[in-house]
Structure 1
């Protein structure tokens, strides 16, 4: 009778540390806000070197589930956190730059996410979120606003609407997808032949979207948002930026 052999699993030490910490999180034994033991205590308990432990902690910090404070005192050490937005945005931006996802992929993802956001925001958005969106649009119309300032405020507006939809994951994904093309959007804004006219046109579209959300016209708001995204972001796809 022939024996079926399975390959021996090989892993670097820090990957085993990551697995162990992940198991604790999944089991509910580690939650956001919890602190890990100091390196000098945790490394021998896990049976690994402090350098391997540090490598695992750096990975966790990069993916937004841990923050490390150096020094001594009550705030020192590594703490479990929930901070996926920046981590996902950074990761997606790198993969877009490497060609893992095309600009067309990102465009369609934005359309899908933001159509949902504007429809849901028309039903669920708290008044204070819509008031904050209004203040952002007011700042975007300020005389002399630069393309960089406009781009940052534009991102805040779209992410705020996504958050106002009531779905935190949609908000996080919207922020990540938007962040993945932030450099290209800024380049396109800065390269506009008539920047004031371009800003006015984009602001008019933003204002219309917000009016429709306030009026509870989610389907119309979603349609305007899609045209807005395809008109500008679609230009990036067409030019190959």
Structure 2
């Protein structure tokens, strides 16, 4: 099915351009991988200025549904993509910074999402996923002295398990929620009084989580990941909101 471009109304022009593109995506006339016509063709087809068109395309890039490659050749131009993870994380991080959500809200969302993903992953995780998770944990043990790298690998472990749940939306939301508090968690890790002991404790919990997944013990894995999250994330909430830390043993 070929996309049909029609002029749009002039009020709030870039929003109307977005609506036009959205309609074509919903109608199946545009799909992931499709390229938009060049600006010099698309702007007059929609009856808008090229500046208004560019504004709409920038918005689409921000929300992770478009990638624009500058230059010439087969890879140049704007292309529809499916890349919600990073975009959703950026948006959520900004809303958290603006006070739209509290850290306690994010904590509870993380608990709900990861309980679900670990329980599902215990049923569906493949040998390849379990091996990849084990490799990540090995790298985390080696990176205990490198806090930023440890934080990065920790995030990768939790997102991997979310993907292994088989639910792509849960995976995306888990990644976004974790990304929204990444900087706060990293700051708390770097400020830990005894980071070596904390990192060793976290790695021990990660190892037990992976053991429970491999054994298919989803309910036990869900319970442990909740305790695991409430430890460090709960301490961050307590520190930032003036309350007491949720647990003595922190966890990112």
The two structures have a TM-score, normalised by structure 2, of 0.91
* Match in the other structure for 1:109: 109
- Could you give the per-residue CA deviations for residues 8-64 of structure 1, whole angstroms, max 9, x where no partner exists? x99411011000000000000000000000000000000000000000000001000
Mapped to 1, the partners of 2:174 and 2:167 lie a distance apart of 11
* Match in the other structure for 1:235: 235
Q: Which runs of 5+ in 2 are unaligned?
A: 1-8, 242-252
Structure 1 moving runs of 4+ over 6 Å = none
Do structure 1's residue 16 and structure 2's residue 16 form an aligned pair?
yes
* Match in the other structure for 2:3: none
Structure 1 segment 63-142 matched on structure 2, within 5 A: 63-142=63-142
Other structure's SS at 1:158 match: helix
CA shift, 1:75, in A, is: 0.5
Report if aligned partners of 2:119, 2:221 keep a CA contact under 8 Å in 1: yes
Other structure's SS at 1:231 match: helix
Other structure's SS at 1:141 match: helix
* Match in the other structure for 1:203: 203
Q: Which runs of 5+ in 1 are unaligned?
A: 1-8
Mapped to 2, the partners of 1:143 and 1:162 lie a distance apart of 22
CA separation of 1:109 and 1:164: change in aligned 2, threshold 3 A: same
* Match in the other structure for 2:5: none
* Match in the other structure for 1:50: 50
CA separation of 1:181 and 1:143: change in aligned 2, threshold 3 A: closer
* Match in the other structure for 1:5: none
Report if aligned partners of 2:143, 2:149 keep a CA contact under 8 Å in 1: no
Mapped to 2, the partners of 1:31 and 1:111 lie a distance apart of 34
* Match in the other structure for 2:246: none
CA separation of 1:222 and 1:144: change in aligned 2, threshold 3 A: closer
Mapped to 1, the partners of 2:145 and 2:56 lie a distance apart of 43
Other structure's SS at 2:186 match: helix
CA shift, 1:145, in A, is: 3.4
The number of aligned residues is 233
CA shift, 1:143, in A, is: 5.8
Name the Cα RMSD after superposition: 1.2
CA shift, 1:220, in A, is: 0.2
Mapped to 1, the partners of 2:38 and 2:142 lie a distance apart of 49
The two structures have a TM-score, normalised by structure 1, of 0.95
